[in-house]
Structure 1
Amino acid sequence: MRYFIWLGLFLLSIGVKAQQTSTVDFTKLAGTVHLLPESKSVKGDIKIDFKILKATDSIYLDAKNSEVNWEEKNQFDFKTTVDKIWIIGDFEKGKSYSFNFKYQMNPKQTMYFVGWDNEGSNQIWTQGQGKYTSHWLPSIDDLNEKIEFDLAYRVPKNYTVIANGKLTNKKTQGDQNIWSFDMKNPMSSYLVAVAVGDYASAEEKSASGVNLKYYYEPNQKDKVEATYRYSKQIFDYFEKEIGIPFPWQDYKQIPVRDFLYAGMENTGATIFSNQFVTDSVGFVDRNYVNVNAHELAHQWFGDFITETSSEHHWLQEGFATFYALLAEREIFGDDYYYYKLYETAEQLKELSDNGKGEALLNPKASSLTFYQKGAWALHILKEKAGEEAFNKGVKTYLLKHAYKNVNTDDFIKEIEKAGQIDLSIYKKDWLFQSAFKASEALNSLKKSKFIQELLMLKSLRNTALEDKKAQLERALQEPVNDYLGQEVVYQLAQENSAEVIPLYKMAFESNNLLTRQAIAITLSEIPQQLKKEFETLLDDDSYLTKEKAFMSLWQNFPEKASYYFDKLKGVEGFQDKNVEILWLTLHLVSPDYESGQKPEIFKRLSHYTAPQYDYAIRENAFGYLYQIDTFSKQSYEDLFESTAHPVWRFRNFCRELLDTLWENPKHRAQLIAMLDSVPSAHAAYAKKKYN
């Protein structure tokens, strides 16, 4: 009878997200997870250990659309719903229990099988934050529940597995390998991660002896140094600056295709977008350093200690942003540090001036607020408390709440104690107020002599050229500061007078990459007097400069197009192939260059829309095909497929492109003719919108 009474109460609870952290403490989740790429599904054999904090007749695991096979030896009953596994029994306060079960899931999100149904490199990877690990592993979505995860993964034996914890064993069973990982401390479930693929690795040891592993696809071995440049320096800096040893056993970094974000700080195993894989030329414009430092900082601020709720999200993102900036300051210098603060202050001020400012403790605040306003709040706090008190407070805060959850008051109290200061006004101004404290930020920035020079130079924007020529010349004298040199070029771009020619020549001769790049970006009409200098931009060690210079030179001097094509033939560019795809596009619309090659060139360009390529490559190819108003049948099919892509930015881009093409009768006729022949999942967006 008790069971049926409980069942009635249970049915009432369906759909209610109960909080059970005060009732039960899940201590360990162990077992083997079998990843099945052919069916894009998961099977698992799991054991859960837990302790009852308050007597109850039921507890649950979050599990989305799971099929469960309950072990007969379990002393409890179970019930599954669409999003939970309920365990039913007479649970006594203070007692510890465990149970075993097998499960199967077909995750629609959180775990992604990339490349298995096309010619791309085969990968499996997870993204738990914001997506819920319970889509592929029964666990606890509530980030206040911290569990030790000791998991093994069974995968086809040609692939490498990287996951949380230390690899303790690898064994072969037929055509499968089982990779076993051990953790020593608990973490929130959203931080559980696994990545599978064809990977090799490079390795270093930190100054404190922690193993640092850098993964890469074997065909990109030549990019390992540039991609992971400064990794050990950042790691060593954080251990020294934070004052607490790295709180996990080892640290791994894994680039993956089609990742949803820049990076994710999974405990001991950061997964990041392969768009940051680079050679030394690409490093100038698109390197991994900031993301690298940001995700590593999260290992302390987010993983070691975790927010209690989204109201305190800045304790993770603000801290990671701030400490990443401190690490970059060590690498790139004070001017870089203050310029980045200046840039974000401008963004925050604009948001605030438009009446869209947000309080740092607003749980629905934007990323700009959580990340950049959070970093600014810490920068100001460090100035108020003093470096010694700030560092002492941060260290105490971390140690006091190790492997637990925190709120903003937990942090503020420790800074107040360490600095013997009252932070009530600071809290009002920086935590609760929606407006950005622009005046206070400006006063802080002005402590930098460089920022004073930059602001002085910017104040000349509306000044006549003859009245500011001397100041511009002075800013272009070697050694030219990256940011001052760029500002000079931005001001020259607003002038039409021939008087700018000598100043442009000074900028070219500065040999400052970013100053020269600013010319490539802003000077669309190239004076004949600067043609020779502009052509030298094609040799700069910057793929962005090469791309912009190539486009401008091709437009301004068509008689030399063949020379420019030959100059950049074979240059790929960034991971998104920015230079190569532009080269192919301009080739197609240049009838006098290699005229017999046009069909092959169009085939190459069209091929880059295929699913086997990373979404950034595909987006570039789609964009240029649209500009020349020519699509192959396969590219249309690829566009349909992309309207269901998991990366929302790319998915939205493709949907908008499809909408635009649909308005054109020429394209619409071909799209309609194909609509019924493409897979239903790929056609779903178009059929819903246009039928």
Structure 2
Amino acid sequence: MKKLFLNHFLLFFAGFAFAQEKPVTDFKHLQAEISIMPVKGEVSGDLTYTFDVLQPTDSVFVDAQKMEFQKVLLNGKEVPFKNDGKRLWITRQMERSEDNVLEITYSANPTQSMYFIENKPEGEEQEYQVWTQGQGKYTSNWLPSFDDVNEKVEFDLSFIYKKGKTLTANGVLQSSEAVNDSLTRWHFDMEQPMSSYLLAVAAGNYEVEERESDSGVPLKLFYPEGEEQYVEPTYRHTEMMMDFFEKEIGVKYPWQNYKQIPVQDFLYSGMENTGTTIFSDLFLVDSIGFHDRNYVMVNAHELAHQWFGDMVTAVSGEHHWLQEGFATYYALLAEREIFGEDYYYWKLFQSAEELKQMSDSGKGEALLNPKAGSLTFYQKGAWALHILKELVGREAFDAGVKNYLEKHAYQNVTTQDFLAEVEQASGMDLGNFRKNWLEQSAFQGSEALESLKRSEFIRNYLEIAALKQLPLESKKELLEKALDFPVNDYIGQEVVHQLALEEISEVLDLYKKSFATNNLYVRQAIALSLNEIPQELKSSYESLLTDDSYLTREAALFNLWMNFPEDRAVYLSKMQGQEGFSDKNLRTLWLALSIATPDFHTSQKEEYLKELRSYTAPYYRFQLRKNAFGYLFQLNAFSSENIRDLMEASGHHAYRFRDFAKNLLQQVYQTSDLLPEDRTLLEKELGINAEVEN
């Protein structure tokens, strides 16, 4: 009897606990008008939320970080509210009801999630880019919204911003009109609900190229004014990707249109905001830059997220792989269509090597661990899907994915939601798969290797890689054969990496054959690994200066300058005027080397130093600033203004650049010749930082 009573109690308690987890409210729609004032770093707006009360409650809330509220009305009446700096609480007894209306007038000065990037030199009219990043930074910093990804809302937003600028946001632009002589209002409409972290707005000096997919999806490709030369290389294969995903996934693109906007000083490579991907302008490339730093992978990844993450969103961090693993895997499938089968297996091989190393060192992570890192969520997630497709077969895998998306469209999902559909489509029990690939922290290296060996290319690569430990006389013939036309990109690079371990005099003939392959990446491997250039290879090495690769040219210029001092002026003259990537990798190196070469352009050295110093200013993209800071440090040529720029950079919103600046500040203080006032300024700055850290 006691046992029976206990069972009934546990059942009752479990039911009660489940009931407590049910949502109290359902926010369905937001109509908002938002004003953005970049000079003040301020945003303000009038919001109208429509929501249902699902069960009786004495309060409702909206997430709102460090905001001020001028008006709060519930169903047309003023109500008591509390602003605790993180949430706006409306305290009022409410019964089950539908279509309640919450009106809010607010203002905020966000320090994250919305960023105001000044990108014009001093003395010119102030120009700004404004852009947002919700994931990990919380949209509730600039818009009263919901940090909980399970609260999906249909957002119809209007924005007021400076006249003459381009502004875009989620949804379809319905109209735009002048507010007055200096401001414009843009109206955007959405048709489906989404999580708040996927909200986005971007504004600045942009032009737009409009395209369309085969199925009629409007594509809007943004680019900075006057930089048309970057459009084709940057957005290459975009239409093909949309067409491929609709066919491969079996579900139509789930939003009204698709827009892509490059922005300065973005926090990451890209972000899959609903229908509105924002990405780093570092990926704006010309046809040469495409070979080394193209946008294809990021483009495909963020587009795949429109289905996996935006349309179906994981309920919690435990299931985050349903977003990143899927986006990584489907992006890889698209890249296979573009770059070929060898590329696909090479990327899998590279990630398997990283995952196995992490696993073997005791740092492996389960895919269902909500605190796992990016390597796990992205690459192990992609591997799990690759293995699952091999396990159940393509037909069952594709059917499972399609059913999963259609059944849970515009909802939140769990791993079991996905596995259930694949089990039903395949008729297989996936318990072992879940245990080995989702719950195990160890990477299944043996199973991954067997899968990789299905590729003839991988088998051939592993045979060449296995030669690394052998003496040269035992493998020279095989290495030479591997360089026969047409040389494989990856196998050819492996050969060059092995040559770098040998006495140069013993492998001159193999280096000459490597140069003669005319393979861009084999030649790049030489540029990046052969630092001491023998006279016999000088002419061949000099030819790298004209390869269609800015990375190759950069490495070649530096190594030739180091190895042949007598020809420095020749190399610098040859490379004069070349910019390289958008971070001016070639230009900044050229300036540094020109300054450091005593008898080269002596009358222009001050001009070159002035230019190099100018690139540390806050209005330049941080990648360029980083290059300039690095070269100025090596030249011991920091000006007072450069030191102030570095201090400003130590508080930058992009954490990698911020950390770089903080570390360099310490090095500049310890090793550089400084004016007394600059040393005092640095001591004060570093002392303040030390107090904060303590």
Same fold (TM over 0.5): yes
- Displacement of 1:421: 0.7
Q: Does 1:38 align with 2:39?
A: yes
Aligned equivalent of 1:6: none
% identical aligned pairs? 53
How many angstroms apart in 2 are the aligned matches of 1:380 and 1:232? 28
Question: Is the 8 Å Cα contact of residues 21 and 144 (structure 1) preserved in structure 2?
Answer: no
Equivalenced residues, count: 669
Q: What SS does the aligned partner of 1:219 have?
A: coil
Q: What SS does the aligned partner of 2:505 have?
A: coil
Aligned equivalent of 1:49: 50
Q: What SS does the aligned partner of 1:95 have?
A: strand
How many angstroms apart in 2 are the aligned matches of 1:139 and 1:434? 35
Q: Does 1:631 align with 2:638?
A: yes
How many angstroms apart in 2 are the aligned matches of 1:218 and 1:512? 35
Q: Does 1:332 align with 2:326?
A: no
Q: What SS does the aligned partner of 2:289 have?
A: helix
Aligned equivalent of 1:10: none
- Displacement of 1:95: 2.7
Aligned equivalent of 2:4: none
- How do 1:498-647 residues align onto structure 2 when only pairs under 5 Å count? 498-647=505-654
How many angstroms apart in 2 are the aligned matches of 1:352 and 1:480? 33
- Displacement of 1:639: 0.5
Question: Is the 8 Å Cα contact of residues 120 and 127 (structure 2) preserved in structure 1?
Answer: no
Question: Is the 8 Å Cα contact of residues 63 and 138 (structure 1) preserved in structure 2?
Answer: yes
1:509 to 1:121, Cα distance in 2 relative to 1, 3 A: farther
What TM-score do the two structures reach when normalised by structure 1?
Answer: 0.94
- Displacement of 1:686: 4.0
How many angstroms apart in 2 are the aligned matches of 1:652 and 1:148? 38
Q: Does 1:135 align with 2:141?
A: yes
Question: Is the 8 Å Cα contact of residues 27 and 186 (structure 1) preserved in structure 2?
Answer: yes
- Displacement of 1:667: 3.7
Question: Is the 8 Å Cα contact of residues 71 and 102 (structure 1) preserved in structure 2?
Answer: yes
Aligned equivalent of 1:99: 102
Q: What SS does the aligned partner of 1:573 have?
A: coil
How many angstroms apart in 2 are the aligned matches of 1:228 and 1:242? 22
- Displacement of 1:89: 2.6
Q: Does 1:65 align with 2:71?
A: no
Question: Is the 8 Å Cα contact of residues 20 and 59 (structure 1) preserved in structure 2?
Answer: no
Q: Does 1:479 align with 2:486?
A: yes
Question: Is the 8 Å Cα contact of residues 30 and 150 (structure 1) preserved in structure 2?
Answer: yes
Q: Letter of the aligned partner of 2:142 in structure 1? A: W
- Displacement of 1:471: 1.1
After the TM superposition, which parts of structure 1 deviate over 6 Å for at least 4 consecutive aligned residues?
none
Gaps of 5+ in 1: 1-18
How many angstroms apart in 1 are the aligned matches of 2:386 and 2:639? 53
Aligned equivalent of 2:169: 163
- How do 1:207-246 residues align onto structure 2 when only pairs under 5 Å count? 207-246=214-253
Aligned equivalent of 1:79: 82
- Displacement of 1:371: 0.4
1:502 to 1:426, Cα distance in 2 relative to 1, 3 A: same
Question: Is the 8 Å Cα contact of residues 121 and 612 (structure 1) preserved in structure 2?
Answer: no
Aligned equivalent of 1:28: 29
How many angstroms apart in 2 are the aligned matches of 1:497 and 1:657? 36
How many angstroms apart in 2 are the aligned matches of 1:577 and 1:239? 37
- Displacement of 1:661: 1.9
Q: What SS does the aligned partner of 1:46 have?
A: strand
Q: What SS does the aligned partner of 1:599 have?
A: helix
1:422 to 1:495, Cα distance in 2 relative to 1, 3 A: same
Aligned equivalent of 1:4: none
Q: Does 1:688 align with 2:691?
A: yes
Question: Is the 8 Å Cα contact of residues 206 and 236 (structure 1) preserved in structure 2?
Answer: yes
How many angstroms apart in 2 are the aligned matches of 1:578 and 1:490? 24
Aligned equivalent of 2:422: 415
Question: Is the 8 Å Cα contact of residues 27 and 51 (structure 2) preserved in structure 1?
Answer: yes
How many angstroms apart in 1 are the aligned matches of 2:297 and 2:327? 10
- How do 1:642-681 residues align onto structure 2 when only pairs under 5 Å count? 642-664=649-671, 666-667=673-674, 669-674=676-681
Aligned equivalent of 2:5: none
Question: Is the 8 Å Cα contact of residues 643 and 685 (structure 1) preserved in structure 2?
Answer: no
How many angstroms apart in 1 are the aligned matches of 2:618 and 2:492? 41
Aligned equivalent of 2:7: none
Report which stretch shifted further, 28-37 or 667-676: 667-676
- Displacement of 1:673: 3.1
CA deviations 1:342-378 (Å, max 9, x no partner) are: 0000000100111100111111001000000010011
1:675 to 1:528, Cα distance in 2 relative to 1, 3 A: closer
- Displacement of 1:74: 2.5
How many angstroms apart in 1 are the aligned matches of 2:455 and 2:413? 34
Q: Letter of the aligned partner of 1:85 in structure 2? A: L
Q: Letter of the aligned partner of 2:42 in structure 1? A: S
Q: Letter of the aligned partner of 1:82 in structure 2? A: G
How many angstroms apart in 2 are the aligned matches of 1:461 and 1:220? 46
What TM-score do the two structures reach when normalised by structure 2?
Answer: 0.94
- Displacement of 1:80: 1.7
- How do 1:233-382 residues align onto structure 2 when only pairs under 5 Å count? 233-382=240-389
Question: Is the 8 Å Cα contact of residues 639 and 654 (structure 1) preserved in structure 2?
Answer: yes
CA deviations 1:306-353 (Å, max 9, x no partner) are: 010001110000000000000000000000000000000000010011
Q: What SS does the aligned partner of 2:226 have?
A: helix
1:670 to 1:340, Cα distance in 2 relative to 1, 3 A: farther
How many angstroms apart in 1 are the aligned matches of 2:687 and 2:208? 40
CA deviations 1:254-285 (Å, max 9, x no partner) are: 00000000000000000000000000100000
How many angstroms apart in 2 are the aligned matches of 1:453 and 1:235? 33
392, 396, 399: which one pairs with 1:392?
399
How many angstroms apart in 1 are the aligned matches of 2:686 and 2:353? 43
- Displacement of 1:76: 3.6
- Displacement of 1:675: 5.2
- Displacement of 1:96: 2.3
How many angstroms apart in 2 are the aligned matches of 1:60 and 1:526? 67
Gaps of 5+ in 2: 1-19
Q: Does 1:108 align with 2:111?
A: yes
- Displacement of 1:90: 3.1
